Structure 1
Amino acid sequence: MRIISPGHEILFIQDGASILKQIEAAGRTCYKSENKITADSAAGFVKSIIKSGHHSVVEHISISVRFICDRGITHEIVRHRLAAYSQESTRYANYSEDKFGNEITVIKPYFWSEGSEEYLEWETAMKNAEQSYLKLLQNGARPEQARSVLPNSLKTEIVMTCNLREWRHVLALRCSKASHPQIREIMLPLLAEFHEKIPVLFDDLYDKYL
């Protein structure tokens, strides 16, 4: 059994300057102010758009992100409806195969210190689940049947694609202190990277949560 930390990978994103220019080109259509577009006008325009709440304009840009997290957290992620999802399937993935190392991979729980009583109890439960899963497969069960004993902590990968307005909505909800600590664990680093790549679009959320 492998124990890993969660994370994310941005799979598709335009460069920040191109994103701002595309948003400006679309947004100025509303005001017929295309004549005000200059080489460096995009950032200021987008900043004013965000401040005014005219967020429909940022829907013209989409970004794809791969999350590596436990299956319990993906149940929360997919509640965001305005997105496309592709997720690792336990119906087809057979973790007893060589390409998976003949073992399951689980996500280290954020809220228990390694070596604590709670952590050791969790680790024992994960090992027991792996043992039952592999035994079922050895006895002829199909992966779609054996997965019944797999835990919420099982590592999964899910690709999420949505527009920038929805990403802002997702991050505003999932970076708050009221959110589950494990979803904050993956969303806060994503917010930091989004802010680095296209700061104007995420300045307000970055300042609020980071």
Structure 2
Amino acid sequence: MKVIEPYVKFESDINGHEILKQIEKIGRVCYKSEERITNDSAEAFIRNLLKRGHESVIEHISISIRAICDRGVTHEIVRHRIASYSQESTRYCNYSSDKFKNELTFIKPCFWNREEDHEKKEIWVTSMKIIEDNYMNLLKLGATPQEARSILPNSLKTEIVITMNLREWRHFFKLRASEAAHPQMREVALIALKLFKEKIPVIFDDIIVNNR
């Protein structure tokens, strides 16, 4: 049994400044103002688009990330309709195989970190260990992975590749990085938002979150 924390990474290299130039080139078609493009005109142009709510232009750019998180979080992620998803399948993955080091991997809950939460955390650890033992025993008894998965919990680690256009990413972060979101969903969204802000200027600057 292994317990890890969630993390997020881009599926390909991201050049934020080139992305902004491409958006500007597309967006200026609307105004036939291509002659105003300079080496440093993209940021101001796009900031003005967002300020005016002309966000359809940023739909032309899509970004893919890989999120390593628990399966409960992915149930919320896939509710976003304007997106494409590819997720690790518990029907076909046999976690008793060497590929998975003959063990289940779980995502550490982010909400039991205080001293007074110790007993809750211990109950969770014990439960995950029991589930791992029972899952492996089912496979030994001849159950297929798709049968044995029926006892797997939300805490099971999974990988999901998510592709959304930039406008939908903005919508995603406004919902999932807010304080109203589920704590584990928010944890993943904040990790992803930090990556986007580091790599792509302007587009996500107005999405301000409280990191408490």
Task: Supply the distance in 2 between the matched residues of 1:118 and 1:50 (Cα, whole angstroms).
Answer: 44
- Aligned-residue CA RMSD (Å): 1.2
Q: Runs of 4+ in structure 1 displaced over 3 angstroms?
A: 207-210
Do the aligned residues in 1 keep the contact of 2:2 with 2:104 (CA within 8 Å)? yes
Is the 2:177–2:209 Cα contact (8 Å) retained in structure 1? no
Aligned counterparts of 2:101 and 2:8: Cα–Cα separation in 1:
22
> What is the distance in 2 between the residues matched to 1:40 and 1:74?
38
Aligned to 1:169: 171
* Pairing 1:44–2:72 present: no
Q: Residues 96-149 of structure 1, C-alpha deviation per residue, up to 9 Å, x if partnerless?
A: 001111110000001112870000001111011111100000000000000011
| Stretches of structure 2 lacking an aligned partner (at least 5 in a row) | none
In the TM superposition, residue 186 of structure 1 has moved relative to its aligned partner by 1.0
Q: How big is each residue's C-alpha offset from its partner over 1:70-98, in whole Å with a ceiling of 9 and x where there is no partner?
A: 00110000000100000000000000001
Match of 2:132 in 1: 130
Which of 183, 186, 191 is matched with 1:184 structurally? 186
TM-score normalised over the length of structure 1: 0.96
* Cα displacement (A) at 1:2: 0.3
Q: For residues 143 and 4 of structure 1, do their structure 2 counterparts lie closer, same or farther at Cα, with a shift above 3 Å needed? A: same
* Matched positions, count: 209
What residue in structure 1 maps to residue 147 of structure 2? 145
Is 1:159 matched up with 2:180? no
Calculate the TM-score normalised by the size of structure 2.
0.95
- 2:22 match: 22
> Where do 5+ consecutive residues of structure 1 fail to align?
none
- Is residue 110–residue 183 contact of structure 2 (8 Å, CA) maintained in 1? yes
Q: Which has the higher helix share?
A: 1
- Displacement of 1:13: 4.8
1:196 aligned to which of 171, 195, 198: 198
Conservation of the 8 A alpha-carbon contact between 2:14 and 2:199:
no
| Structure with more contact order per residue of length (Cα contacts < 8 Å, sep ≥ 6) | 2
Residue identity (%): 59
| Aligned partners of 2:175 and 2:181 also within 8 Å | yes
Q: Is the 8 A contact 2:43 2:201 kept in 1?
A: no
In structure 2, give the amino acid aligned to 1:159.
Answer: V
Aligned equivalents of 1:17, 1:162: Cα separation in 2 = 19
